[in-house]
């Protein structure tokens, strides 16, 4: 990095920076290029295109490719605002990128908060805090990971900078996972890499039964009731539910199949009987709306008929939220499913791991924490429980009874 560029980066005012929301990520049907980035100039960047093909060759799922491109699009928008070419980016540009993410407003928050709620306020219906306006720490870290992987790839092609602008993890290189170290040496702790944010562990966001009942009653259609019933009765992620087809229903055994996260294998899990009742009603109502020969399960109810997308799924929940004044998200339903399983004394934690389709038991253990609603109920019972009575002295022995038991003793 030249001295002039260094001085320019040091004097950059991140507060007044205007990052224009231009460009997009387009999902395609090409298995070798499942997502495509349209840059700020409206063109398909060939270097990004080759990076996507690299991800596909490394067996990344289409959802992962799209997720990485969304983070790269955020990076390219920032570079366009600071007038730096992607192959000239340096460490100071990554630092300013993180600083901008820490103070910028996430445009997705504006779409979610249409009820006028204040960021950080607690919803009176669900008891869940409203999301802040900015980018979460996990989003910033994911963006850094995507940018780092992009530049790692182009270090091999020779088109990028000779040094990756995203800094590596601190610490002794011998203590990285997979590195060689003498077994008699104490491991040296590795700190967070520069610019990585502290991401706090979030507690599960299960819905109380009364709140869920009101939310379910506010759903306007059989399709919406079928979606929520499967979500709270089988715990799919949003992408898993939207990817369902007619062949993923086993009505006889009351099972549904989801394409697992990461490994992309079908996994069958039980579903409650009422889910199939709502499904049958939905399929009967929309039989004439679905295209002939198309086996996808979820469709819009208005013409022209289109497959249900993530944004349309979010509108399904928003309509019920607006009626109740709630802030229920789709992932809240998965948390509710997990907490209900954990509350069942007949299910082992390994059973819950299988039903939740977690690879690691550590992912399931976060649901073993006590919910605040349960703690409030138990503490109320504790305060209402009468204090134990003082122990009474031992009664004296009756001489007549002793003479019967032990004749001649008295």
**Backbone phi, psi, residue 249, to 5°:** -115, 125
Q: What is the pLDDT along the chain (410 residues), one digit of tens a residue?
A: 555 555 556 678 899 999 999 999 998 989 999 999 998 888 888 999 999 999 999 999 888 999 999 999 999 999 999 999 999 999 999 999 999 999 999 887 765 555 556 766 888 888 888 878 889 999 999 999 999 999 999 999 888 888 999 998 765 444 455 555 555 565 555 678 899 998 877 778 889 899 999 999 999 999 999 999 999 999 999 999 999 999 999 999 999 999 877 667 899 999 999 999 999 999 999 888 888 888 999 999 988 889 999 989 999 999 999 999 999 999 999 999 999 999 999 999 999 999 999 988 988 988 887 777 777 888 888 889 888 877 766 667 777 777 777 787 65
Q: State the pLDDT at residue 145.
A: 95
Whether the Cβ atoms of residue 357 and residue 260 lie closer than 8 Å to each other:
yes
Domain 209-368 annotated CATH 3.40.50.10860: no
Could you give the dihedral angle defined by the CA atoms of residues 203, 97, 68 and 335, in that order, rounded to the nearest 10 degrees?
10
The CATH class for the domain spanning 19-171 reads mainly alpha
Q: Pairing relation of β-strands 249-250 and 35-38?
A: unpaired
Q: State the pLDDT at residue 175.
A: 44
Whether the Cβ atoms of residue 153 and residue 130 lie closer than 8 Å to each other:
no
Cα–Cα distance for residue pair 153/55, rounded to 1 Å: 10
Question: pLDDT tens for residues 300-339?
Answer: 998 888 999 998 999 999 999 999 999 999 999 999 999 9
Whether the Cβ atoms of residue 71 and residue 35 lie closer than 8 Å to each other:
no
Question: pLDDT tens for residues 240-299?
Answer: 999 999 999 999 999 999 987 766 789 999 999 999 999 999 999 988 888 888 899 999
Q: Pairing relation of β-strands 24-27 and 249-250?
A: unpaired
Q: State the pLDDT at residue 123.
A: 86
> In which region does residue 2 sit, left (phi positive, over 0), alpha (psi from -120 to 50) or beta (all else)?
beta
Cα–Cα distance for residue pair 255/279, rounded to 1 Å: 13
Q: Where are the domains of the chain?
A: 19-171, 209-368
Q: How many CA atoms lie within 13 A of 50 on its CB side?
A: 11
Q: Would you state the structure tokens that stand for residue 174, as one six-digit string?
A: 């011998």
């Amino acid at each position: 990095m030249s001295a002039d560029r260094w001085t320019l980066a040091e004097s950059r005012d991140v507060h007044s920076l205007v990052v224009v929301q231009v460009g997009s990520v387009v999902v395609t049907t090409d298995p070798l290029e499942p997502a495509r980035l349209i840059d700020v100039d409206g063109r398909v960047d060939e270097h990004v295109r080759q990076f996507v093909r690299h991800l596909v060759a490394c067996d990344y799922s289409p959802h992962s490719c799209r997720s990485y491109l969304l983070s790269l699009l955020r990076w390219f928008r920032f570079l366009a605002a600071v007038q730096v070419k992607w192959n000239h980016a340096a460490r100071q540009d990554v630092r300013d990128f993180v600083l901008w993410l820490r103070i910028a407003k996430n445009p997705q928050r504006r779409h979610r908060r249409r009820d006028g709620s204040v960021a950080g306020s607690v919803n009176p219906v669900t008891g869940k805090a409203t999301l802040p306006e900015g980018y979460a720490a996990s989003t910033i870290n994911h963006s850094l990971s995507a940018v780092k992987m992009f530049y790692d790839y182009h270090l091999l092609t020779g088109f990028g900078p000779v040094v990756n602008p995203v800094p590596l993890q601190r610490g002794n290189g011998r203590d990285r996972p997979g590195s060689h170290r003498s077994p008699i040496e104490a491991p040296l702790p590795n700190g967070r890499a520069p610019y990585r944010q502290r991401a706090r562990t979030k507690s599960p966001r299960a819905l109380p039964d009364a709140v869920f009942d009101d939310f379910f009653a506010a759903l306007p259609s059989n399709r919406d009731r079928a979606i929520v019933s499967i979500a709270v009765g089988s715990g799919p992620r949003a992408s898993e539910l939207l990817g369902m087809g007619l062949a993923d229903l086993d009505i006889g055994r009351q099972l549904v199949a989801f394409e697992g996260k990461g490994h992309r294998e079908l996994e069958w899990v039980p579903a409650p009987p009422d889910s199939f009742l709502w499904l049958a009603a939905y399929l009967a109502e929309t039989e004439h709306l679905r295209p002939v020969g198309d086996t996808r399960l979820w469709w819009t109810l208005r013409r022209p008929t289109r497959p249900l997308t993530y944004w349309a799924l979010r509108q399904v929940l928003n309509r019920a939220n607006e009626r109740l004044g709630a802030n229920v998200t789709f992932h809240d339903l998965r948390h509710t499913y997990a907490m209900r399983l954990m509350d069942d004394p007949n299910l082992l934690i390994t059973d819950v791991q299988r039903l939740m389709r977690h690879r690691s038991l550590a992912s399931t253990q976060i649901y073993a924490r006590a919910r605040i609603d349960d703690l409030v109920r138990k503490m109320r019972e504790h305060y209402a429980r009468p204090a134990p009575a003082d122990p009474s002295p031992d009664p004296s022995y009756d001489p007549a009874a002793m003479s019967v038991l032990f004749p001649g003793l008295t």
